[in-house]
């Protein structure tokens, strides 16, 4: 069950094979339309291997009747709990809530997977219809007075109930979630809260669909041979394939996929075309078209501020961050500022060096944002004799996937066995069965690595079925999505080093889901504090750059020869070369996200989103030659949903954790140190939300994290040093 999708929401898992309880099924009689769906897979047991989603049988028309029945069943389950004549006990209230909503979870997880990874017009129409209905359903649970009375009674009596540590943690999270959702509001405020939640659900869906539309609709057709000047073979090949997919056979097309945009901006000698691509990329959702997100963002910001005020918080940022490791916006801003200053200083020094390079070439223009990557690559080659194009032939996607499995085996004893008998939603998707060191089944891992027009941009992890241990053990089914250029026939997909790190990052999230070993779904896998959830993903990135991993898996796709030690040394030497740029574009986005959500209600209702974004950037001294990594109108982390609203900073917060934590492996002299790996498994990857995140971190590391590790890792000065 996922009864709430608010910040601090009640996040419960599903069992893909368990039917709804008989009482709920009886109470939730399907409509005539649903009765006609006799072959609807959502109403049947899944006999696929491991109860995997039968994607080969699920059709678009199955979702409306499935949602209808699932909402009705869940309403009946909640009513039975809330209106029980029996006094509240942990078993008849919390355990019952943990078991409720399994059909809704089953439907919602599959629908969410498809709308993110392989959508179409029909699914998008259903998505627009379901979003406010789902929000209304969640609000009715969160604001159910009788249900909250039972939870609150248990919370007040928690010391008398002889609860296990895990049960106490579950009760604590339930109680806090209901309070933060508005359970203590009066009826008028609850009514307004319901209205806000429904409207936000619609707006957030619209935001994401608008961004996808802009990314899908725009393309730059390269008509002449000179339009390809400077582009390496892998970009030319990918652009030719993109052209074919968009009906321009024989030509080349640049789309707004980051996997095409960034290499084009880095390598194209055509400054005029670089400008076109750059402007289109940073203007997604901000074009004054039918897909423009200015008004959408403004309304989202105002509604979130109003909701925070109803709950007694001065701003949405205060509300959102209260239930995180940071606890206050001031704490988050303090970290951003501490890293911003050295990052900005490094970026400004790099800017001057790049401008000197422009002048040395006899050019008389000022460096512009669409020039940065182009001249930066030239400077890197000159300074480190390092060419990213020379690295790419050694970074085959398939081998990087093998490398991520190898690391998981060395750390946690896992093995991965590809399964071709499990249905998938697109031919590109691959599935592996995961087993532990004793050969026991752990779960399923789905990898979906290539971009397509039906898939949203970016990279992410999601769960088709989270782990749970209540009643019977339910093994997780976890997915990773990326957006790399699909290779042409006979050639492998080749990655940049940063692309390879992203593969490892998302697999770190996947392991957090796969290795989860808790009883209660409310605490399973990635259901942790938002500024802790990136830690398992970001620490996993560090293992890619270990020599024993690269020497084994970074092999030339044609010759099979391992990456030369000289090239590996150059890669390591050049790793901090663009830290100024990378950190500035990231922190600028985090500042803008936090500032938008720190507005009080009065200011939020009158904000000019474009002017406000510019004002924040001016205030922090944003270099004009660098753009935010994600401008507000396409910042899906914050506005296509609420997961990272006022929370984009968490990647940097987790960066403190991951660099400090991996320093322990360095101090031990072994990236696979058995005792450290055991503690990483016990207190991080398998532990879900069993304990407060700082407590979990200290149990692994032996102390609280130190920001100096992050500064050193990025090549920035720390106290007592100079750079």
Per-residue confidence (pLDDT) for residue 390, from 0 to 100: 84
The CA-to-CA distance between both ends of the chain, in Å, stands at 51
CA–CA distance, 407 with 429 (Å, rounded to integer)? 22
Q: Alpha-carbon torsion 691, 650, 516, 152, what sign? A: positive
CA–CA distance, 521 with 256 (Å, rounded to integer)? 38
Per-residue confidence (pLDDT) for residue 490, from 0 to 100: 80
The H or E element containing residue 252 is strand 252-254
DSSP-assigned beta bridge partners for residue 435: 415, 441
**What six digits make up the tokens of 130?**
């379901």
Q: What is the dihedral of CA 163, 166, 169, 173, to 10 degrees?
A: -110
CA–CA distance, 230 with 237 (Å, rounded to integer)? 13
CA–CA distance, 579 with 419 (Å, rounded to integer)? 40
Active site residue 506: yes
Strands (E), 367-476: 415-419, 430-435, 441-450, 460-465
Q: Say what the pTM is.
A: 0.92
Phi-psi region of 288 (alpha: psi -120 to 50; beta: other; left: phi over 0): left
The H or E element containing residue 253 is strand 252-254
CB-based contact 399:555 (threshold 8 Å): yes
CB-based contact 380:398 (threshold 8 Å): no
Q: How far is CA 119 from CA 112, 116, 487, 672, in A?
A: 10, 7, 22, 40
CA–CA distance, 512 with 75 (Å, rounded to integer)? 31
CB-based contact 411:672 (threshold 8 Å): yes
**Could you tell me whether strands 460-465 and 477-484 are parallel, antiparallel, or unpaired per DSSP bridges?**
antiparallel
Q: What is the mean pLDDT of each run of 10 residues along the chain (723 residues)?
A: 33 27 35 56 97 98 98 98 98 98 98 98 97 97 98 98 98 98 98 98 97 95 95 93 92 94 96 98 96 97 98 98 96 97 97 97 96 96 85 95 98 98 98 98 98 94 97 97 89 93 98 98 95 96 95 95 90 88 98 98 96 98 97 97 95 97 97 98 98 97 95 81 36
All structural domains of the chain, each given as residue ranges with its CATH number in brackets, are: 22-184 (1.10.1370.40), 218-282 (no CATH), 294-386+578-648 (1.10.1370.10)
CA–CA distance, 568 with 614 (Å, rounded to integer)? 40
Per-residue confidence (pLDDT) for residue 717, from 0 to 100: 86
Cα-flanking dihedrals φ and ψ of residue 221, to 5°? -90, 120
Give 87's DSSP letter: P
CB-based contact 656:590 (threshold 8 Å): no
Q: How far is CA 675 from CA 411, 415, 450, in A?
A: 10, 20, 37
Determine whether 600 is exposed, middle or buried from the number of CB atoms within 10 Å of its CB (0-12, 13-18, 19+).
Answer: middle
Per-residue confidence (pLDDT) for residue 575, from 0 to 100: 83
CA–CA distance, 258 with 484 (Å, rounded to integer)? 8
Give 606's DSSP letter: T
CA–CA distance, 655 with 629 (Å, rounded to integer)? 17
CA–CA distance, 202 with 5 (Å, rounded to integer)? 13
**What six digits make up the tokens of 360?**
């040395």
**What six digits make up the tokens of 595?**
């500032």
Angle at 78 between CA 23 and CA 104, to 5 degrees: 80
Per-residue confidence (pLDDT) for residue 38, from 0 to 100: 61
Angle at 124 between CA 121 and CA 130, to 5 degrees: 145
Phi-psi region of 646 (alpha: psi -120 to 50; beta: other; left: phi over 0): left
Q: How far is CA 73 from CA 1, 68, 69, 242, 644, in A?
A: 11, 9, 6, 45, 30
CB-based contact 464:109 (threshold 8 Å): yes
Sole residue written with tokens 């627009």:
128
CA–CA distance, 637 with 647 (Å, rounded to integer)? 8
Q: What is the three-state SS of 69-101?
A: HHHHHHHHHHHHHHCCCCCCCHHHHHHHHHHCC
Per-residue confidence (pLDDT) for residue 179, from 0 to 100: 98
Determine whether 308 is exposed, middle or buried from the number of CB atoms within 10 Å of its CB (0-12, 13-18, 19+).
Answer: buried
Angle at 554 between CA 548 and CA 559, to 5 degrees: 130
Of 506, 541, 585, 595, the catalytic one is 506
CA–CA distance, 448 with 446 (Å, rounded to integer)? 7
Q: In what order do the strands lie in the sheet with 415-419?
A: 415-419, 430-435, 441-450, 477-484, 460-465
Determine whether 558 is exposed, middle or buried from the number of CB atoms within 10 Å of its CB (0-12, 13-18, 19+).
Answer: exposed
């Amino acid at each position: 069950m996922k009864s709430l999708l608010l910040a601090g929401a009640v996040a419960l898992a599903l069992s893909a094979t368990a039917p709804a309880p008989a009482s709920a099924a009886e109470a939730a009689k399907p409509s005539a339309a649903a009765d006609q769906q006799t072959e609807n897979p959502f109403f049947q047991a899944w006999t696929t291997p491991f109860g995997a989603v039968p994607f080969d049988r699920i059709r678009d028309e199955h979702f409306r009747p499935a949602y209808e029945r699932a909402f009705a069943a869940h309403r009946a389950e909640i009513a039975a709990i809330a209106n029980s004549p029996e006094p509240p006990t942990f078993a008849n209230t919390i355990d019952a809530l943990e078991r409720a909503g399994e059909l809704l979870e089953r439907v919602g997880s599959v629908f969410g997977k498809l709308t993110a990874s392989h959508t179409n017009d029909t699914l998008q129409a259903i998505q627009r219809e379901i979003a406010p209905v789902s929000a209304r359903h969640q609000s009715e649970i969160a604001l159910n007075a009788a249900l909250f009375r039972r939870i609150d009674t248990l919370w007040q009596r928690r010391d008398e109930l002889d609860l296990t540590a895990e049960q106490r943690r579950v009760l604590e999270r339930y109680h806090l979630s209901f309070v933060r959702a508005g359970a203590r509001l009066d009826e008028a405020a609850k009514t307004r809260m319901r209205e806000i939640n429904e409207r936000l659900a619609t707006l957030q869906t619209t935001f994401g669909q608008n961004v996808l539309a802009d990314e899908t609709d725009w393309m730059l057709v390269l008509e002449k041979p000179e339009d390809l000047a400077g582009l390496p073979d892998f970009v030319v090949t990918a652009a030719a394939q993109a052209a074919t997919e968009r009906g321009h056979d024989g030509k080349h097309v640049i789309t707004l996929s980051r996997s095409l945009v960034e290499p084009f901006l880095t390598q194209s000698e055509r400054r005029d075309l670089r400008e076109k691509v750059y402007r289109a990329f940073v203007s997604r959702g901000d074009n004054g078209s039918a897909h423009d997100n200015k008004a959408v963002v403004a309304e989202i910001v105002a509604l979130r501020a109003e909701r925070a005020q109803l709950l007694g918080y001065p701003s949405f940022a205060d509300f959102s961050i209260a239930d995180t490791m940071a606890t206050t916006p001031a704490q988050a801003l303090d970290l951003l500022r501490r890293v911003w200053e050295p990052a900005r200083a490094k970026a400004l020094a790099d800017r001057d060096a790049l401008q000197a390079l422009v002048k040395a070439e006899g050019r008389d223009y000022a460096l512009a944002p669409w020039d940065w990557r182009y001249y930066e690559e030239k400077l890197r080659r000159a300074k480190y004799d390092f060419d990213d194009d020379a690295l790419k032939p050694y970074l085959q996607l398939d081998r990087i996937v093998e490398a991520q499995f190898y690391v998981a085996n060395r750390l946690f004893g896992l093995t991965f066995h590809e399964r071709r008998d499990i249905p998938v939603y697109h031919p590109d998707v691959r599935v592996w069965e995961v087993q532990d060191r004793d050969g026991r089944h752990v779960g399923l891992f789905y990898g979906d690595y290539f971009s397509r027009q039906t898939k949203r941009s970016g990279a992410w992890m999601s769960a088709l079925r989270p782990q749970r241990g209540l009643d019977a053990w339910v093994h997780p089914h976890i997915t990773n999505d990326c957006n790399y250029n699909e290779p042409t026939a006979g050639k492998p997909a080749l990655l940049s080093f940063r692309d390879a790190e992203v593969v490892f990052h998302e697999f770190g999230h996947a392991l957090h889901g796969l290795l989860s070993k808790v009883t209660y779904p409310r605490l399973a896998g990635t259901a942790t504090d938002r500024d802790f959830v990136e830690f398992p993903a970001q620490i996993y990135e560090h293992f890619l750059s270990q020599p024993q991993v690269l020497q084994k898996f970074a092999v030339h796709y044609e010759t099979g020869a391992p990456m030369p030690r000289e090239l590996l040394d150059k890669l390591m030497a050049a790793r901090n070369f663009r830290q100024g740029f990378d950190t500035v574009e990231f922190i600028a986005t985090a500042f803008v996200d936090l500032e938008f959500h720190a507005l009080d209600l009065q200011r939020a209702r009158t904000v000019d989103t474009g002017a406000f974004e510019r004002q924040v950037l001016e205030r922090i001294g944003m270099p004009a030659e660098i753009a935010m990594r994600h401008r507000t109108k396409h910042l899906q982390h914050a506005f296509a949903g609420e997961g990272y609203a006022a929370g984009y900073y968490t990647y940097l917060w987790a960066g403190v954790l991951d660099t400090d934590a991996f320093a322990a492996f360095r101090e031990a002299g072994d990236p696979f140190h058995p005792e450290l790996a055991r503690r990483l498994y016990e207190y991080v990857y398998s532990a879900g939300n069993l304990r407060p995140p700082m407590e979990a971190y200290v149990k692994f590391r032996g102390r609280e994290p130190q920001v100096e590790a992050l500064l050193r890792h990025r090549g920035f000065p720390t106290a007592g040093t100079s750079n």
